Chain A
């Protein structure tokens, strides 16, 4: 039995690695996606284009503007003089926001009456607008404190002092890149296993395999092994890049991470083989894999928090192995989690893997024509 599984796995590897196209699928897309996600996918905003409509021109106004100028988040691209200029700038997406400083702003401040500022935001992308607003708030808050200090006043009665744990700079790379470990290994493993049986069906070699004394369980395991091995290699590569290139700290236990990875791949292989057992052609297999992948990524909490989803959808996320693995990989990277803390993530993946492999085995025997 063991010998059989090994012979099958060797054959699978050879078939995969001797074909230049499938070799490319294993190497090309992961590297490309890692670069694209690593650099492009970020929740942070930098160099937001801003226009300043300064109707005051006094010292305090200049002080505020210079603070905006000094922030890495903003870039002032225009100083405007009249109201009519505001709309064209926002409409044509020249700027994301316009800061309007009221006439006699410095005067009012000097008299201790408080000055007013108007912020006009391009709300077409609400997410970006919110972020820009928050950055601007921080600058204004800071400016207020400065004024208080200068004038010797006691300032606002309560001072909020913030400290973010685990990701001290609130750098969104730290959140996204560990997630990519799960995302990319899922894509590659799923596609490799989904294609494995479908390819043989399409080329007629599956019949040849079924008439040999190999047991369906042996075929199943022989076909799972390459998916697991390739997944581990792929994931290790991304982990190394995340640590060395993107400089994300790995704070927890590597063993806990790899235990999670193995269970995650186990469930991914099971689902891939299930898709493969249903498909007759490779095209159907790829389609099936993506029909699973897209909701799996959205429901996993990769980008949007699961807690914000409607309750019924939240229940659905329990079927998604990526959901559990993301908790593990982020936990180990940023929080320094160990085995005990992650136990509740391990066992659901093991169950998903067992059930899907059993289903794939059943489908093997019952879908033969």
Chain B
């Protein structure tokens, strides 16, 4: 038992060649202890998936060695694949087969004896709570249920080592909790070893041990507690009377003695610089009634602290011109009984909400909740089935072209021209938004300087690092100083630092009077919004300020519930009502 389940020694792997050579793993050496859950944590592009695929012998490494359960992954890939269970990000479920047929297929593929099957199936269905749906087609399951079925298929024959690649991405909080329960049951019952990758930092705390991966290098391996311990004495929570958390956060983020400031519920969570002891009285002299409390460090605090590069500490936030006060009254965005059907399937069910001027309005929900469909209808990219939308007083689908000049749009996927340079992209989009002459030049320079893109001006947009791609997309959406900004999943897959940068920018926009509509599946980001709706299965579960929504989940046991607690309480409340 004491022998590690997985050993990586100085593993190197890169893709492409020449100038486009991309180093995915750069000298990675790690060990995974048997009978435990090890988390592989890192932002997108850190090399998590490459590492998993190398461990299964699905890729050839450039250098180093990998030992899986005592087998050499490079020399004996077939044996390794027979011994480990691997669940890729998109598990190969057959959408046209039922839940039961998918299970049977994987049992056949794994060679599970017919006699053992009924018992195993019963156990898996009980764990995943899929028993009532065994005859349903896999394609008709919700995102969370699909993920649970995928996990069940990977577990048909309990492997000794289970590799899970981002099993919880975009999954609703309830299903996420259930997935973790299944993983831990397997570890306890079968003595399985699990290596699980995730971009959610709060999940790191559920692991026995955590490996931090960043840009192909291991930044550290320890128990999550050990990571947090380093931060004791540097993490604080600040609140101020009469000052909204967002304003307070913006003030604190500018403070030289503070490395990090994020909104956490009604307070702002800060990390003080090494050797700086903040005092309530002197921290922000201009703010009245400031309260400061030491807080228990979390894994995320340690992660941000390790990742923060002193050179990149100056985060790119361009100056944003204040919008002229609007002549018109009324809400910039109004949605009334909006519905969208695709055949029999109702993606959005008669939802209504409105967004006030200068508000950051959040559309929260898991993948498949109907956020993007709603979003596309608002932008005029998808016709409505019924209902009414009004954006800046128009339905963008039928309105004159000029109405579209008042909105900015940033899609979920990077959607600028990949083989045009940064400067060419900016030039094109500024022209599309009717900027010309010196004004056009001025705005292009604003974008290049403000977003620190100047050094990349002649680089093809497609080859930019992820964080810079997002800056460019953001810049392109802001060229014409829109009064309403639509952002679809802007923080999906970006690292915590880029997320902070993004929210700082969005705050600045809202302060300048821009109305922002943003969708996200990160529940903790709800606190950055002024108001939000939570969507599930196409319907609105709750609407209000983050404070109001969290208050609904307050119980004597949990006096300060998180947004995720609130989401789970809402879903469960609806299920019991139904």
Give CA–CA (A208, B486) in the complex, Å.
Answer: 11
Determine the chain B residues whose CB is within 8 A of the CB of A134 once the complex forms. Answer: none
Determine the chain A residues whose CB is within 8 A of the CB of B382 once the complex forms. Answer: 368-369
Known: A210-B381, A211-B381, A211-B409. A203 touches B433 (CB 8 A): no
A3 touches B431 (CB 8 A): yes
A211 touches B418 (CB 8 A): no
Q: Is B460 an interface residue (CB 8 A)?
A: yes
Q: Is A207 an interface residue (CB 8 A)?
A: yes
Q: Is A113 an interface residue (CB 8 A)?
A: no
B431 touches A7 (CB 8 A): yes
Q: Residue on A with the closest CB to B476?
A: A208
B431 touches A207 (CB 8 A): no
Q: What does DSSP make chain A's interface, helix, strand, loop or mixed? A: helix
B415 touches A204 (CB 8 A): yes
Give CA–CA (A18, B401) in the complex, Å.
Answer: 30
Q: Is B74 an interface residue (CB 8 A)?
A: no
CB distance from A237 to the nearest CB of B (A): 25
Q: Is A340 an interface residue (CB 8 A)?
A: no
Within 8 A of A (CB), among B194-229: none
Determine the chain B residues whose CB is within 8 A of the CB of A207 once the complex forms. Answer: 376, 379, 381, 409, 411, 415
CB distance from A216 to the nearest CB of B (A): 9
Determine the chain B residues whose CB is within 8 A of the CB of A205 once the complex forms. Answer: 415-417
Contact residue among A18, A204, A211, A214 (Cβ-Cβ distance under 8 Å from B420): A18
Give CA–CA (A344, B460) in the complex, Å.
Answer: 48
Known: A18-B460, A207-B409, A368-B381. A213 touches B432 (CB 8 A): yes
B419 touches A213 (CB 8 A): no
CB distance from B173 to the nearest CB of A (A): 28
Determine the chain A residues whose CB is within 8 A of the CB of B415 once the complex forms. Answer: 203-205, 207-208
Q: Is B434 an interface residue (CB 8 A)?
A: yes
A214 touches B381 (CB 8 A): no
Give CA–CA (A212, B415) in the complex, Å.
Answer: 13
Interface residues in B, total, Cβ within 8 A = 35
Known: A11-B420, A15-B420, A215-B401. A208 touches B431 (CB 8 A): no
Q: Is B429 an interface residue (CB 8 A)?
A: yes
Q: Is B318 an interface residue (CB 8 A)?
A: no
CB distance from B484 to the nearest CB of A (A): 11
Known: A211-B379, A213-B404. A204 touches B432 (CB 8 A): no
Please encode chain A, from 1 to 30, with 1 for each CB lying within 8 Å of some chain B CB and 0 for all others: 001100110110011001100000000000
Please encode chain B, from 469 to 487, with 1 for each CB lying within 8 Å of some chain A CB and 0 for all others: 0000000100000000010
B436 touches A3 (CB 8 A): yes
Q: Residue on A with the closest CB to B409?
A: A211
Please encode chain B, from 443 to 460, with 1 for each CB lying within 8 Å of some chain A CB and 0 for all others: 000000000000000001
Known: A18-B419, A207-B415, A212-B429. A11 touches B424 (CB 8 A): yes
Known: A14-B420, A203-B415, A204-B415. A211 touches B380 (CB 8 A): yes
Determine the chain B residues whose CB is within 8 A of the CB of A15 once the complex forms. Answer: 417, 419-420
Q: Residue on B with the closest CB to A214?
A: B432
Q: Is A209 an interface residue (CB 8 A)?
A: yes
Within 8 A of A (CB), among B392-420: 396, 401-405, 407, 409, 411, 413-420
CB distance from A322 to the nearest CB of B (A): 31
Interface residues in A, total, Cβ within 8 A = 24
Determine the chain B residues whose CB is within 8 A of the CB of A4 once the complex forms. Answer: 431-432, 434
Q: Is B428 an interface residue (CB 8 A)?
A: yes
- Best-buried of B380, B416, B417 by chain A (most CB within 10 Å): B417
Please encode chain B, from 379 to 391, with 1 for each CB lying within 8 Å of some chain A CB and 0 for all others: 1111100000000
Q: Residue on B with the closest CB to A208?
A: B415
A213 touches B379 (CB 8 A): no
Determine the chain A residues whose CB is within 8 A of the CB of B402 once the complex forms. Answer: 213
Determine the chain A residues whose CB is within 8 A of the CB of B383 once the complex forms. Answer: 368
Determine the chain A residues whose CB is within 8 A of the CB of B418 once the complex forms. Answer: 203
Determine the chain A residues whose CB is within 8 A of the CB of B417 once the complex forms. Answer: 11, 14-15, 205
B401 touches A208 (CB 8 A): no
Determine the chain B residues whose CB is within 8 A of the CB of A14 once the complex forms. Answer: 417, 419-420, 424
Contact residue among B380, B416, B427 (Cβ-Cβ distance under 8 Å from A208): B416
Give CA–CA (A215, B380) in the complex, Å.
Answer: 13
Determine the chain B residues whose CB is within 8 A of the CB of A11 once the complex forms. Answer: 417, 420, 424, 428
Q: Residue on A with the closest CB to B382?
A: A369
Determine the chain B residues whose CB is within 8 A of the CB of A19 once the complex forms. Answer: 419
Known: A7-B431, A14-B424, A18-B460. A210 touches B380 (CB 8 A): yes
Q: Residue on A with the closest CB to B434?
A: A213
Please encode chain A, from 198 to 232, with 1 for each CB lying within 8 Å of some chain B CB and 0 for all others: 00000111011111111100000000000000000
Determine the chain B residues whose CB is within 8 A of the CB of A212 once the complex forms. Answer: 404-405, 429, 432-433
CB distance from A361 to the nearest CB of B (A): 14
Q: Residue on A with the closest CB to B415?
A: A204
Give CA–CA (A4, B382) in the complex, Å.
Answer: 24
- Best-buried of A211, A214, A215, A368 by chain B (most CB within 10 Å): A211
Give CA–CA (A369, B340) in the complex, Å.
Answer: 12
Give CA–CA (A4, B428) in the complex, Å.
Answer: 9
Give CA–CA (A8, B381) in the complex, Å.
Answer: 20
Q: Residue on A with the closest CB to B432?
A: A212
Determine the chain B residues whose CB is within 8 A of the CB of A203 once the complex forms. Answer: 415, 418
Give CA–CA (A330, B219) in the complex, Å.
Answer: 72
A209 touches B432 (CB 8 A): yes
Determine the chain B residues whose CB is within 8 A of the CB of A208 once the complex forms. Answer: 409, 411, 415-416, 429, 476
CB distance from A282 to the nearest CB of B (A): 14
Determine the chain B residues whose CB is within 8 A of the CB of A7 once the complex forms. Answer: 427-428, 431-432
Give CA–CA (A92, B200) in the complex, Å.
Answer: 73
CB distance from A243 to the nearest CB of B (A): 36
Give CA–CA (A4, B429) in the complex, Å.
Answer: 10
Give CA–CA (A203, B461) in the complex, Å.
Answer: 13
CB distance from A299 to the nearest CB of B (A): 37
CB distance from A218 to the nearest CB of B (A): 8
CB distance from A369 to the nearest CB of B (A): 6
Give CA–CA (A127, B229) in the complex, Å.
Answer: 89
Determine the chain A residues whose CB is within 8 A of the CB of B432 once the complex forms. Answer: 4, 7-8, 209, 212-214
Q: Residue on B with the closest CB to A10?
A: B428
Determine the chain B residues whose CB is within 8 A of the CB of A215 once the complex forms. Answer: 401
Known: A7-B428, A203-B415, A205-B415. A213 touches B433 (CB 8 A): yes
A213 touches B424 (CB 8 A): no
Determine the chain B residues whose CB is within 8 A of the CB of A211 once the complex forms. Answer: 379-381, 396, 404, 407, 409, 486
Determine the chain A residues whose CB is within 8 A of the CB of B409 once the complex forms. Answer: 207-208, 211
Give CA–CA (A34, B427) in the complex, Å.
Answer: 38
CB distance from B460 to the nearest CB of A (A): 7
Give CA–CA (A71, B418) in the complex, Å.
Answer: 61
Q: Residue on A with the closest CB to B425?
A: A11
Determine the chain B residues whose CB is within 8 A of the CB of A3 once the complex forms. Answer: 431, 434, 436
Q: Residue on A with the closest CB to B473?
A: A208
CB distance from A198 to the nearest CB of B (A): 15
Q: Residue on A with the closest CB to B373?
A: A369
Q: Residue on A with the closest CB to B403?
A: A213
A213 touches B405 (CB 8 A): yes
Contact residue among B376, B381, B401, B486 (Cβ-Cβ distance under 8 Å from A213): B401
Determine the chain B residues whose CB is within 8 A of the CB of A369 once the complex forms. Answer: 381-382
Give CA–CA (A97, B401) in the complex, Å.
Answer: 72
CB distance from A161 to the nearest CB of B (A): 63
Give CA–CA (A71, B100) in the complex, Å.
Answer: 78
Q: Can you list the 7 inter-chain pairs with the closest CB atoms, starting with the nearest?
A: A7-B431, A204-B415, A213-B405, A212-B432, A211-B409, A213-B401, A11-B428
Q: What are 16 A-B contacts with C-beta separation under 8 Å? A: A14-B417, A14-B419, A15-B420, A18-B460, A205-B416, A207-B415, A208-B429, A209-B432, A211-B380, A211-B409, A211-B486, A212-B432, A213-B405, A213-B433, A214-B432, A368-B382
Using a CB–CB distance below 8 Å, which chain B residues touch chain A? Answer: 376, 379-383, 396, 401-405, 407, 409, 411, 413-420, 424, 427-429, 431-434, 436, 460, 476, 486
For the complex with contacts A4-B434, A18-B420, A211-B404, 12 further pairs of A-B residues with Cβ separation under 8 Å are A3-B431, A8-B428, A11-B417, A11-B424, A203-B415, A204-B411, A208-B415, A211-B380, A213-B432, A213-B434, A214-B401, A214-B432
